[in-house]
Amino acid sequence: MEDTFFKPEKEENEKLTPMMRQYKEIKDKYLDSILLFRMGDFYEAFFDDAKRLSQILNIILTKRANIPMAGVPHHAIHGYLSRLVKSGVKIAICEQMEDPKTAKGIVKRDVTQVITPGTISENRYLESKSNNYLASIIVSKSERKAAISLCDVSTGELYITEIENENLKELIDEIAEDIIRFSPKEIMTIDSVKESEIIKEIQKRFSKIFYSHTPDYTAEYSYAYKTLTNHFKTLSLKSFGIEDKPLLISLVGSTIHYISELQKNSLEHITEIKIYDKKNSMTLDYATISSLEILETIRNDNKKMTLFDTIDRTKTSMGARYLKRIIVEPLINIEEINKRLNNVEFFYKDTKLMYKIADLLADIGDIERLSSKLALGRINPKELVALKRFLILSLEIITELALNGFEEANFEEATDIKLITDLIERAILEEPKIVTNEGDIIKDDYNEQLKKYNEAKREGRNWISELEGNYRLDTGINSLKIRYNNVIGYYIEVTKPNVSAVPKDFIKRQTLVSAERFTTEKLIEYEKIINEANEKSCALEFEIFTKIKNKVNFYINSILKTAKIISIIDVYVSLASLAKEDNYTKPIMTEDGIIDIKDGRHPVVEANLINESFIPNDTYLDNDKEHLLIITGPNMSGKSTYLRQTALIVLLAQIGSFVPAASARISIVDRIFTRVGASDNIARGESTFLVEMNETAYILNRCTNKSLIIMDEIGRGTSTYDGLSIAWAIVEYLVGEENKKAKTLFATHYHELTMLEELDGVKNYKVSVEEYKDEIIFMKKVIEGSAESSYGIYAAKIAGAPNKVIKRASEILKRLENEASVQFDNIELNKSSEILPLYNNSNEEIIKESEIEKEIKELNINEITPIDAINLISKWKNYL
């Protein structure tokens, strides 16, 4: 029966039609979503949903019976859904649950899936090389403890952790660090927690993320416990390590409930809970990830200029996602790092095997996301055949590596995978249809009854062909044809000039401009046999395909383990290819506190140079004589590149990668901190300098003797003396404070700071510069010593500033430098861990009186001769 949405406009009180009432009943259950209501060939939205849909998709908003409406064709829904997902809205898909042609009354409809940014499972809406995490957060009543989970519905990954901290700000910072690390697309919590101080602060910091919530009862301990044991089909949660962790049970239980409610399907591909311990890996804060341009460039304008894109040689989406994960989670355990390095070296030493495996990997698709579609019941026949092909290739890779002695290729699930691939091979056609209810999916030989139906269909088609030939002979109409369409089925078509020759037993069906269409009792009989065989075969094929899906899904654990092994192998092969192609070397990992890099290079800058070679530099840092390097040199000379390349080389080493250097001895660091560049956060009322100070304070409060810090131009956002004083004090703090003596590269234009080389552990380095015929040549080589100038005026000159400005700037600079040298020569260095006050009790600056000032004050001008005066002036001039 055809649906009618609207009553005639003249109907009294414009009462709702039965279908409108159906829509309202369904919409009331999904008030926070845009409801896409299937009506025939369109998905329609009404009222405010229609207005939002029109605005987001830029489609026409219409009205009928004074009700706003907007719709999209069902055959193009995926393109529109992709745009809706990217806009960050929640979408409820309401489907027709029965055939409108056979429905009695209003067609039954129901929501089959709710899509949010963090619960998308369809690969077509997702970035292939990135995970799509839903973050869930639950906070204890005291707000001093939080549990966090990260779930990717598209791959089945589920990670959890618990954080406890009496300091609320530090607790929020730790939660924020996990959000930065995993980059979730959605953050979910329970109703009672969404107004907590922690969640409100997280929303301020990450305002672009989609936020959602679920009822409190889903996190109630006994309900959540039952949710998890039912999901994992276990009697307890001991095997997951959370049996005695009620906050984690509440968190994961509410998460599984939330996702299940949206997906309307089981989540069998979420097979385990992985507890991640932050102590096992290095935490990278937002400033470090951003400044080092690990995943995005600072301007976010060129992904090819990121560290990830530079080192990524993976062949599979799964491998790329795994590489992206480990690149922001550098290891801190020397055994685990060396294990990765040795696995990379395995492929590095056998180039032939490395490229053979790479070629095989290139033909493997996204097993993880196909597994997700399998578990959610959304995999189609073509995808199931593709899964078979990918699993066969995976077994080939694993077997090849096992034969070559690769220890990571220890794979117990090979038998399961062989059973899966054999089943799909026997049952499914190599080129099946995508849809599941139109036949042409299952091989004839797989099922005897299906074989009979298909033979009947083939025989019927032969009958039709034979009948067509007989009718041509009987009528003498050589152009007579028997054809088929979905509307009237089989028919006999005769052109107009030949209609007079049509026998009387032909039954007329249609009249066209140039032809007449007929049928016969015999054709109707054949059609009935063919249609019956076709209907039964399609139904049987659908039934068989569903059973095969379920059988394959039974081995979902083995499939996911295969996917994980392949992703890890892909990363090892990728890193080995990178090392071989870009001349990287295996670092020697230690815990002796020494970082010694020979001819180090910036991986991204080097990869993007076109007509010039990268100039390498050495770096030496230790825990004793050289743990803080003050680096001076002009702008554009390569200071920032040098700082960043050192941090990136250490980071690469600790993810288990070879590094761009002639040699590298890397002592493991517990954190990498960066404070470089200028940025602001106007939305939160933070100036560039306040952001700089926030980041600096964060580093100073969290660094340890085992950390690596790179600081570039600290203090440049305020007045000269303010900035210089802050920079000076920071150096003293990092040198003198116990447990804060981090290995530090400190680039600065404050040349006065080079005086601090007298402090234990401080050493001056500079970027060498050559002057030739009024031209400045930046050598981009870092050597011992301190720069004599920042060449800022030279930069203004080559930029085209007026000569008058350049000349005057030179005069002012000379005078300021003369005056400043006297003042800073007399600041007393703080060589202890005790912090010296900026001012004494009398509010006078602690600056020693210079020898000249002292001599002038004590001088009695009435007792000296003009010659004495000239000699004194000459003496002071020489001194200055």
pLDDT digit string, tens, across residues 146-179: 999 999 999 999 999 999 988 888 899 999 989 9
- The Cα–Cα gap between 392 and 398 comes to 10
CB 90 within 8 A of CB 132: no
Single-letter residue type at 83: R
Q: Where in the chain is the domain with CATH 3.40.1170.10?
A: 12-115
Tell which residue, 238, 142, 115, has the closest CA to residue 198: 142
Please state, as a whole number, how many other Cβ atoms lie within 10 Å of the Cβ of residue 367.
26
pLDDT digit string, tens, across residues 576-588: 999 999 999 999 9
**Domain at 588-788: CATH code:** 3.40.50.300
Mean pLDDT of the chain: 86
pLDDT digit string, tens, across residues 489-530: 899 999 999 999 999 989 999 899 899 999 999 888 888 888
From residue 837, alpha-carbon distances to 7, 727, 755 in Å are 83, 15, 19
Give kind and range of the element (H or E) at residue 715.
none
> Quick check: helix, strand or coil at residue 177?
helix
Q: Where in the chain is the domain with CATH 3.30.420.110?
A: 123-280
pLDDT of residue 276: 86
CB 420 within 8 A of CB 414: no
Lowest mean pLDDT among 59-63, 145-149, 426-430: 59-63
Please state, as a whole number, how many other Cβ atoms lie within 10 Å of the Cβ of residue 879.
11
pLDDT digit string, tens, across residues 370-380: 999 999 888 99
pLDDT of residue 765: 92
CB 632 within 8 A of CB 769: no
CB 774 within 8 A of CB 791: no
pLDDT of residue 680: 45
In the predicted structure, residue 237 carries a pLDDT above the cut 50 = yes
**Domain 12-115 homologous superfamily, CATH:** DNA repair protein MutS, domain I (3.40.1170.10)
pLDDT of residue 123: 81
* 730, two tokens: 């920071």
Annotated binding site for ATP: 633-640
Lowest mean pLDDT among 26-40, 110-124, 289-303, 850-864: 850-864
Lowest mean pLDDT among 15-29, 44-58, 832-846: 832-846
CB 688 within 8 A of CB 701: no
Annotated binding site: 633-640
Angle of the 381-403 helix axis to the 351-361 helix axis, nearest 10 = 170
Lowest mean pLDDT among 324-333, 359-368, 446-455, 867-876: 867-876
- CATH 3.30.420.110 for domain 123-280, yes or no, is yes
From residue 233, alpha-carbon distances to 228, 390, 681 in Å are 8, 29, 48
What single string gives the DSSP state of each residue in 686-697? Answer: B-HHHHHHHHHH
- CATH 2.40.110.10 for domain 312-441+550-582, yes or no, is no
Global pTM value = 0.84
In the predicted structure, residue 4 carries a pLDDT above the cut 90 = no
pLDDT of residue 455: 83
CB 769 within 8 A of CB 633: yes
